[in-house]
Homo-oligomer: A and B are copies of this chain.
């Protein structure tokens, strides 16, 4: 039944994403030919440790409240309960940053906010790092915007910088620590981006979903940088901080200062959410609040510590072998150069067939990802140790 309605023709410009289905296909074929092979997956982009005790206790209590008339909660405020917005505001104080509660809106995921916030904007030129999380690109293809890539490579340590860019009024995506490269902007580099955005009247959409993995003196939030309130929206998530990938909670900060075309971006975002979103479950918001309490946050840091020990093991063997990589010290991701000039799918096959370790070919994250490979630290300690031992024997 071909209807007479017009569709959003931009959808025809989306490329089909083959990355994870192609990985699954190759792994399946190998397993079928080698049924006794013990395959280790270091390609997982999802957490595997359970929710912490503070979180499950808060959620269990909240479920009980929802089951009693006196403590039942109906529609939540569109932007989140104040108890959670206040907890997030306090969380920013851990980094010496003041964010007023009214600038924080709670939602169901960074992916949702990263995609949905583009609705506020007109036809601006968009700058997207390459390689990067594919959602930035796809959501802008859907709205037909002009996209330019800012190239990340070994010369810039996989941290693209603004120098050399001309033009103004950009929408700029930055993700630090980066997915998939694990590279992290330091204060000085991020300041150059903020200065560029301010001087060109551009907007930075700053994805800090991996900030909890930062080790050492790197900015956890773009608002540590002077001038950022005049040019940046920050999107952060409980997914990787508190293991909430299957629990769904995130937040977005839109500073009150931000305006364009005579409109407050914060008011536009609030209107967008009030019209097309109905809040995050009460039970989840109570869990998220607990994750940011002092006890809850210490538990989160234990989860992060577990993964980061895995990352250190992987990074260790690459260092031993003198292989270039980024990430692994402030990120659960390790982004390594494929040895012997191999392309990333060839290296994928060689690891799978040679030592039964599965990772993610860098080419799947953009043109600049060719020749690189992503390993992740979200596996178990045992599996990671075994994979590292196999890599030690395999890599030259």
Q: Is the CB of A8 within 8 A of B260?
A: no
Show 11 A/B contacts (Cβ-Cβ < 8 Å), sorted by A.
A1-B198, A1-B258, A5-B171, A7-B122, A47-B74, A51-B63, A59-B66, A59-B283, A112-B277, A112-B278, A246-B282
Q: Is the CB of A246 within 8 A of B122?
A: no
Stretch at the interface among A29-37, A216-224, A267-275, A346-354: A267-275
A202-B5 contact, Cβ under 8 Å, with A11-B263, A50-B66, A66-B51: yes
Q: Is the CB of B66 within 8 A of A246?
A: yes
Cα A164 to Cα B47 in complex, Å, equals 57
Q: Across the two chains, which residue of chain B brings its CB closest to A141?
A: B275
A148 at the interface (CB under 8 A from B): no
Cα A52 to Cα B171 in complex, Å, equals 46
Q: Is the CB of B4 within 8 A of A272?
A: no
Those 5 A-B pairs whose CB atoms lie nearest each other, nearest first:
A4-B201, A115-B276, A6-B122, A4-B169, A56-B67
Within 8 A of B (CB), among A192-232: 198, 200-203, 230-231
Total chain A interface residues with beta-carbon distance under 8 A: 89
Cα A123 to Cα B10 in complex, Å, equals 13
By a CB distance below 8 angstroms, the chain B residues around A63 are: 51, 56, 59-60, 63, 283
By a CB distance below 8 angstroms, the chain B residues around A109 are: 277-278
Q: Is the CB of B5 within 8 A of A260?
A: yes
Q: Is the CB of B247 within 8 A of A281?
A: yes
Within 8 A of B (CB), among A56-82: 56, 59-60, 63-64, 66-69, 72-76
A393 at the interface (CB under 8 A from B): no
By a CB distance below 8 angstroms, the chain B residues around A271 are: 11, 14
Q: Is the CB of A2 within 8 A of B260?
A: yes
By a CB distance below 8 angstroms, the chain B residues around A262 are: 2
Cα A266 to Cα B236 in complex, Å, equals 30
Within 8 A of B (CB), among A246-300: 246-248, 257-263, 265, 268, 271-272, 275-284
A111 at the interface (CB under 8 A from B): yes
A23 at the interface (CB under 8 A from B): no
By a CB distance below 8 angstroms, the chain B residues around A189 are: none
Q: How close is A117's CB to chain B, nearest CB, in angstroms?
A: 10
Q: Across the two chains, which residue of chain B brings its CB closest to A70?
A: B50
Cα A135 to Cα B277 in complex, Å, equals 10
A323 at the interface (CB under 8 A from B): no
Neighbour of A5 across the interface among B67, B112, B203, CB < 8 A: B203
Q: How close is A227's CB to chain B, nearest CB, in angstroms?
A: 10
A138 at the interface (CB under 8 A from B): yes
Cα A90 to Cα B178 in complex, Å, equals 43
By a CB distance below 8 angstroms, the chain B residues around A245 are: 74-75, 278
Cα A157 to Cα B180 in complex, Å, equals 58
A46 at the interface (CB under 8 A from B): yes
A64-B75 contact, Cβ under 8 Å, with A7-B263, A119-B142, A260-B2: no
A9 at the interface (CB under 8 A from B): yes
Within 8 A of B (CB), among A126-145: 135, 138-139, 142
